[in-house]
Amino acid sequence: MSQLQSHPVSTVAVIGAGPVGLAAAAHLLERALTPIVLEAGDGPADAVRQWGHVRLFSPWRFDVDSAARRLLESHGWAAPDPDGLPTGAELIDAYLAPLARTPELSPHIRYGTKAVAVSRLGVDKTRTIGREGRPYLVRTRTTAGAWSDLIVDAVIDASGTWGRRNPLGAHGLAAPGEDHGAAWSVGPLPDVLGTERDRFAGKRTLVVGMGHSAANTLLNLAQLAEQEPETAVAWAIRGDSPARLYGGGSADALPARGTIGTRLRGLVESGAIELVAGFTIDRFEPGPGGSVSVVGEVGGVEHVIETDQVAAATGFRPDLEMLREIRLDLDSTVEAPSKLAPLIDPNFHSCGTVPPHGEADLAQPDEGFYLAGMKSYGRAPTFLLATGYEQVRSIAAALAGDREAADAVELDLPETGVCSSSRSLDATSIAEAGEAGGCCGTAAGADSGSGCGTGETAATGGCGTAAPEPVTIGSRGLATGVLHGHSGERRELPQLKASGGGCCG
């Protein structure tokens, strides 16, 4: 008998009301468990709303959780076109907001309530005797400043990574002068062609990063420059070549994603985008009128980029400070659960090699506590939203004492095109963006065929084409075997309960 079965669970705190958090709540309700969903924003999927202008790579068929679908359909909900590609805003308006409003789920969601710390009731991290079976204390703070402690039997942390940007400086550290609040600092996915157009028109913008969030911003800026000739676009990467982001072009099974690399390559080669490769940032020096000098090195020689603003598209990392009193078993490199880390490590994984995984791969030393969704991937950008849905389905089954269902990890995924190390897309997705992560595509209103505004963000996933080829991945399968790293390294995978993949990151 497992620890969870020996200590019955009734109430479960779910941190985050994004796609995976709401899916977790729906699965818990189906298992007759009581979710208490804590959302810092004033509505569902607040992180997704912040990149709502971006269109996903993945069609609707991979963006809706099974339990959420059943709940919505019981109230007459009509699913969107399964082959349509929603924007982040459409994902909320057509799916997540109606889900959050259902009479079954709505009473369990607390908006404007941020989880600031989690612990075991009555003991700190060092206490072992009498620790097992204790409930959890989740300390919260509302937007009005009111503090409160919530006592629950289990916790699913699906709070994502959106609010914790990776630094722009070298060595994994913020560079001197790096300030996200500075006039020159731009968020990871600005609405260049929409609400923030005036900020970028006629200005020089430096984009830092080599994932699809960077590509999204670069392509939108290039389109703006065609309309506003004084607009200038620069792109800085730490690597010596952008070939991985250029990807496989027409060989990619996701047309919207393949267009990104083709279009971006053409803009760099034409000079519409100035590329500075091999650039490491040492410091930021404020200039006149809110501009900035970005000082760094290329090949050991100092190089300075003068710009009006800097768009930081270097990815995200999880907030682990709030979990200091929880006993966690995390990989020291990826900062993901140790059993999950080898399956998602971006040094070895490209788009098609991440298998689905469940409660057994996510369980922590403190029984009944789980990281799920984008946060469970730590610093890895290989997250797929559909995989997050399978995570929480398995976790809910385990919390309800259904070990067989928890271990039966299965998932239908599309064929995903470019998957080898030499052609993989160095994606920093809705992994980059936050609660969710995964494959995203064109900006709202953009023509994916023209390449205008394509990109990937953060909070959702499921890679697919308009006519995807599903790959069913069962719990009795074997792992992919040998994974290829960017440096040509090889490492053997442990034997898994499931195999297969899905792209993203």
| 164 or 381, higher pLDDT | 164
In this structure, what are the phi and psi dihedrals at residue 147, rounded to the nearest 5 degrees? -95, 145
Does any domain span residue 429? yes
Residue 254 belongs to what domain range? 170-312
Q: Left, alpha or beta for 247 (phi > 0: left; psi -120 to 50: alpha)? A: left
Q: Which helix (H) or strand (E) element contains residue 197? A: helix 197-200
Query: Does one domain contain both 341 and 486?
Result: yes
SS (H, E, C) 116-171: EEEEECCCCCCCCCCCCCCCEEEEEEECCCCEEEEEECEEEECCCCCCCECCCCHH
Q: Could you identify the residue written with the tokens 């731009």? A: 186
Q: Could you identify the residue written with the tokens 């996510």? A: 362
In this structure, what token pair is assigned to residue 486? 């960017």
Report how far residue 152's alpha carbon sits from residue 162's, in angstroms, rounded to the nearest whole number: 25
Report how far residue 385's alpha carbon sits from residue 396's, in angstroms, rounded to the nearest whole number: 17
Report how far residue 23's alpha carbon sits from residue 144's, in angstroms, rounded to the nearest whole number: 27
Question: What is the pLDDT of the chain when averaged over all its residues?
Answer: 81
Query: Does one domain contain both 293 and 364?
Result: no
Find, among 124, 191, 173, the residue nearest to 327 by Cα.
124
In this structure, what token pair is assigned to residue 447? 């023509």
User: Among residues of the chain, what percentage have pLDDT more than 70?
Assistant: 77
Residue-level pLDDT at 414: 53
- The angle subtended at Cα 474 by Cα 470 and Cα 478, nearest 5°, is 110
Parallel/antiparallel/unpaired status of strands 11-15 and 154-157: parallel
**Per-residue confidence at 257, pLDDT binned at 50, 70, 90?**
low
**Per-residue confidence at 421, pLDDT binned at 50, 70, 90?**
very low
Cα distances (Å, whole numbers) of residue 80 to 46, 69, 94, 281, 355: 21, 11, 8, 44, 27
Q: Which of 290, 312, 334 is the last residue of a domain?
A: 312
Report how far residue 245's alpha carbon sits from residue 262's, in angstroms, rounded to the nearest whole number: 10
Query: Does one domain contain both 179 and 138?
Result: no
Q: Total domain count for the chain?
A: 2
Does any domain span residue 297? yes
Instruction: Mean pLDDT check: name the lowest of 6-10, 72-76, 159-163, 248-252.
Output: 248-252
Instruction: Mean pLDDT check: name the lowest of 3-7, 216-220, 362-366, 430-434.
Output: 430-434
Does any domain span residue 123? yes
Query: Does one domain contain both 405 and 464?
Result: yes
Q: Is 129 exposed, middle or buried (0-12, 13-18, 19+ CB in 10 A)?
A: exposed
Find the mean pLDDT for residues 10-34. 98
**Per-residue confidence at 121, pLDDT binned at 50, 70, 90?**
very high
Query: Does one domain contain both 154 and 234?
Result: no
Judged against a pLDDT cut of 50, whether residue 503 lies above it is answered with no
Instruction: Mean pLDDT check: name the lowest of 73-77, 113-117, 251-255, 500-504.
Output: 500-504
**Per-residue confidence at 258, pLDDT binned at 50, 70, 90?**
low
CATH of the domain at 39: 3.50.50.60
Query: Does one domain contain both 181 and 275?
Result: yes
Residue-level pLDDT at 480: 25
SS (H, E, C) 296-328: EEECCEEEEEEECEEEECCCECCCCHHHCCCCC
In b/e form, how buried is each residue of 444-474, taking b as 16+ CB within 10 angstroms? bebebeebbbbbbbbbbbbbbbeebeebebe
Report how far residue 121's alpha carbon sits from residue 142's, in angstroms, rounded to the nearest whole number: 21
Residue-level pLDDT at 378: 94
In this structure, what are the phi and psi dihedrals at residue 357, rounded to the nearest 5 degrees? -150, 160
Does any domain span residue 504? no
Judged against a pLDDT cut of 60, whether residue 428 lies above it is answered with no
Judged against a pLDDT cut of 60, whether residue 251 lies above it is answered with no
Q: Is 58 exposed, middle or buried (0-12, 13-18, 19+ CB in 10 A)?
A: buried
In b/e form, how buried is each residue of 390-416, taking b as 16+ CB within 10 angstroms? bbbbbbbbbbbbebebbbbbbbbbbbb
Contact 203, 231 (CB under 8 A): yes
Per residue in 287-338, pLDDT (tens digit) is: 999 999 999 999 999 999 999 999 999 999 999 999 999 999 999 999 999 9
Q: Is 109 helix (H, G, I), strand (E, B) or coil?
A: strand
Per residue in 147-164, pLDDT (tens digit) is: 999 999 999 999 999 989
Cα distances (Å, whole numbers) of residue 148 to 108, 137, 288, 317: 16, 10, 45, 27
Residue-level pLDDT at 285: 97
Does any domain span residue 217? yes
In this structure, what token pair is assigned to residue 364? 């922590």
Find, among 484, 369, 487, 388, the residue nearest to 431 by Cα.
388
Per residue in 166-181, pLDDT (tens digit) is: 999 988 899 999 999 9
Find, among 213, 310, 302, the residue nearest to 264 by Cα.
213
| 37 or 438, higher pLDDT | 37
Instruction: Mean pLDDT check: name the lowest of 37-41, 75-79, 93-97, 482-486.
Output: 482-486
Find the mean pLDDT for residues 55-83. 94
**Per-residue confidence at 31, pLDDT binned at 50, 70, 90?**
very high
In b/e form, how buried is each residue of 106-121, taking b as 16+ CB within 10 angstroms? eebbbbbbbbebbbbe
Find the mean pLDDT for residues 406-432. 47
Judged against a pLDDT cut of 90, whether residue 279 lies above it is answered with yes
Does any domain span residue 70? yes
Query: Does one domain contain both 344 and 444?
Result: yes
Residue-level pLDDT at 350: 53
Query: Does one domain contain both 157 and 11?
Result: yes
Query: Does one domain contain both 105 and 127?
Result: yes
Question: Do you know the residue count of the chain?
Answer: 505
Does any domain span residue 500? no
Q: Which of 259, 279, 312 is the last residue of a domain?
A: 312
Query: Does one domain contain both 389 and 466?
Result: yes
Query: Does one domain contain both 460 and 325?
Result: yes
Does any domain span residue 413? yes
Q: Which of 312, 330, 347 is the last residue of a domain?
A: 312
Find the mean pLDDT for residues 34-59. 94
CA max distance for the chain: 69
Q: Is 261 helix (H, G, I), strand (E, B) or coil?
A: helix
Query: Does one domain contain both 126 and 231?
Result: no
